[in-house]
Structure 1
């Protein structure tokens, strides 16, 4: 490992913050560059569910469960990260899908419990509508997204990272290698550049001829004013997904990725909030505070892009939906690969080169 290696990380979302923190603690000289508030576009609008849940093949499940373990380690290293293993109660699938999910993931070692209506009521006593059958995973959790990102960036700064507010206009190439970035404040050089800029990543990569096949679907989430405790954990119901934040806000979307904002996001938010209140006992005084519309950087096949761009030395890419779940393990594995040249086998399916085939 080269302790003096100079790395630029573009982006202050939770993925970029984790990479910067891991690199700095491993001895790299890190500069973080971003042209937005901490968290960027996607992180502040995230439901922030940490999980390895249904609908994914086993290799991706293994990456996500490793990420869940890394969240616990990271929270021990950075105690200011607001992390809660509050558990998730799910019944937004058909009976057949829930059975397939429970059977398959239990075989992989995921702690799924089938629960009846009475047990669900004990888990979440303030729900007005409960199913005959639900699935409960006690090991799922949340990390408050902006606060966690700030904690990681502060940890990176404690280990010598510089954070610069500027706009990256282009990657700089010298003799076939990326050697830095042009910014609105001038040229900054480095041994390697990490692109972790979420929805802004494709435009930055394109300045070096790198194509990132990414979609950016919007998702609307409503946020209540802080309120008394109504929910113990994550609730993935038929009509809405919701949870209560550490400051007491109930947040909800038509799924964890957020609702389609429609033609008028304000109207959609009010309708969504109006549908949520009757689902919660004791919510008469609950008031809508604001809504967010996040644009999720989602590779076209649904899986993350993590690794170096083949044919272009000096640039590392980390772009994905599920950034909240994956951030700790991506930070760890990216730092190992950038500094030591060791690529973890769990990342094997997620290189950019898969799109060229």
Structure 2
């Protein structure tokens, strides 16, 4: 570039942090604006599973496995990222569906091992009831969400970006061109605006006349007090997904994104925690510390929106539920598209324009 492109990234969760890092690494002049600070709003409430597991078509599987590989590339550039490739043991489907998943994803190249109760007990010795049949994927992992976003943002600042606090009131327009953002009544100009604001994204882009059909289902996750090591990796049992952090906290939800908190989230949390404790041998002293209720930014068809908005220039949108898995690939692909006009073929299904068809 003859002169550095000025880009504003709205949002400091895992997606905004990754896009900002890749942009500044590629030579852009980047400003990150976030009302909530490093980590954003959705990211701190994430189960933080890095995977390409069941329930998705092959085209989305390919994007997710590419993202898993990009995490390893990014970790070489930012060694402080708190990643753990701990493996995932899955038995939250009926045996016939679990076998169908294993057969399908194995044919796609996913490293699935079919395991019996003996092998499951070797992988996770503290399960009270090891499953008779499960699948194990050694290459799955976790990225501690807030610490990962903070590490990326810290390195983004080291590389020359600005990270500022504040609420973006609206996008600034000149005709059909987005020219900046308005923060506290002041307009900050840029060549391109990236909206990576999670659940806040639709309201922001609506100020430019753009509609993003999205849902924000709630998900409750419980967090224990730090405890001795009980889990080696991710465990996906029926209505109980759990893992243990490096500091010893057991994190659990009724599924990986967290379950419905119901009318009394505190009671739901206590019940879920009792189920978690009962599932683990040696967990008698495990204590509930707190629970979170996150609102997952999910486009209505369940798949990401990544790309420029149609009908206006200067606006790039990145909103998705699977932010922890997808972050490094989205950051890389978005930076290339914004700075060079190159759209990666893996992003082809994920433009906003699909909702207009």
Coarse TM-score class (shorter-chain normalised): over 0.9
Q: Relative to 1, partners in 2 of residues 1:277 and 1:210: Cα closer, same or farther, differing over 3 Å?
A: same
Give the drift of 1:247: 1.1
Tell me which stretches of 4 or more aligned residues in structure 1 moved more than 4 Å. none
Within a 5 Å distance, the mapping from 1:149-298 to structure 2 comes to 149-184=149-184, 186-298=186-298
Give the drift of 1:185: 5.6
- Alignment RMSD: 0.8
Give the drift of 1:37: 2.9
Mapped to 1, the partners of 2:107 and 2:172 lie a distance apart of 48
Q: State the partner residue of 1:51.
A: 51
Q: Is the 8 A contact 1:2 1:339 kept in 2?
A: no
Q: Is the 8 A contact 1:3 1:29 kept in 2?
A: no
Could you list the per-position Cα deviations for residues 244-289 of structure 1 after superposition, in whole angstroms to 9, with x for gaps in the alignment?
0111100000000101111011111111101110111111111000
Q: State the partner residue of 1:81.
A: 81
- Describe the SS at the equivalent of 1:202: helix
Q: State the partner residue of 2:324.
A: 324
Give the drift of 1:2: 5.2
Q: Is the 8 A contact 1:10 1:34 kept in 2?
A: yes
Q: State the partner residue of 2:138.
A: 138
Mapped to 2, the partners of 1:261 and 1:37 lie a distance apart of 25
Q: Is the 8 A contact 1:307 1:350 kept in 2?
A: yes
Within a 5 Å distance, the mapping from 1:343-354 to structure 2 comes to 343-354=343-354
Within a 5 Å distance, the mapping from 1:63-82 to structure 2 comes to 63-82=63-82
Mapped to 2, the partners of 1:320 and 1:70 lie a distance apart of 17
- Gaps in structure 2 of 5+ consecutive residues: none
- Describe the SS at the equivalent of 1:338: helix
Give the drift of 1:138: 0.3
Mapped to 2, the partners of 1:327 and 1:18 lie a distance apart of 6
- Describe the SS at the equivalent of 1:102: helix
Mapped to 2, the partners of 1:37 and 1:263 lie a distance apart of 29
Q: Is the 8 A contact 1:9 1:16 kept in 2?
A: yes
Q: Relative to 1, partners in 2 of residues 1:168 and 1:49: Cα closer, same or farther, differing over 3 Å?
A: same
Mapped to 2, the partners of 1:239 and 1:30 lie a distance apart of 42
Q: State the partner residue of 2:38.
A: 38
Taking structure 1 as the reference length, what is the TM-score of the superposition? 0.99
Q: State the partner residue of 1:336.
A: 336
Mapped to 2, the partners of 1:310 and 1:282 lie a distance apart of 56
- Describe the SS at the equivalent of 1:89: strand
Q: Is the 8 A contact 1:45 1:293 kept in 2?
A: yes
- Describe the SS at the equivalent of 1:317: strand
- Describe the SS at the equivalent of 2:325: helix
Could you list the per-position Cα deviations for residues 89-135 of structure 1 after superposition, in whole angstroms to 9, with x for gaps in the alignment?
00000111111100110000000010000000000000001111000
Q: State the partner residue of 1:312.
A: 312
Could you list the per-position Cα deviations for residues 120-174 of structure 1 after superposition, in whole angstroms to 9, with x for gaps in the alignment?
0000000001111000000000000000000000111011111110110110111
- Describe the SS at the equivalent of 1:257: coil
Q: Relative to 1, partners in 2 of residues 1:185 and 1:31: Cα closer, same or farther, differing over 3 Å?
A: farther
- Describe the SS at the equivalent of 2:72: helix
Aligned residues: 357
Mapped to 1, the partners of 2:3 and 2:257 lie a distance apart of 39
Mapped to 1, the partners of 2:345 and 2:189 lie a distance apart of 30
Taking structure 2 as the reference length, what is the TM-score of the superposition? 0.99
Mapped to 1, the partners of 2:292 and 2:184 lie a distance apart of 28
- Gaps in structure 1 of 5+ consecutive residues: none
Matched, 1:99 2:71: no
- Describe the SS at the equivalent of 1:103: helix
Give the drift of 1:41: 1.6
Matched, 1:9 2:20: no
Q: State the partner residue of 1:118.
A: 118
Could you list the per-position Cα deviations for residues 29-82 of structure 1 after superposition, in whole angstroms to 9, with x for gaps in the alignment?
000001113222210000000000001011100000000000001111100100
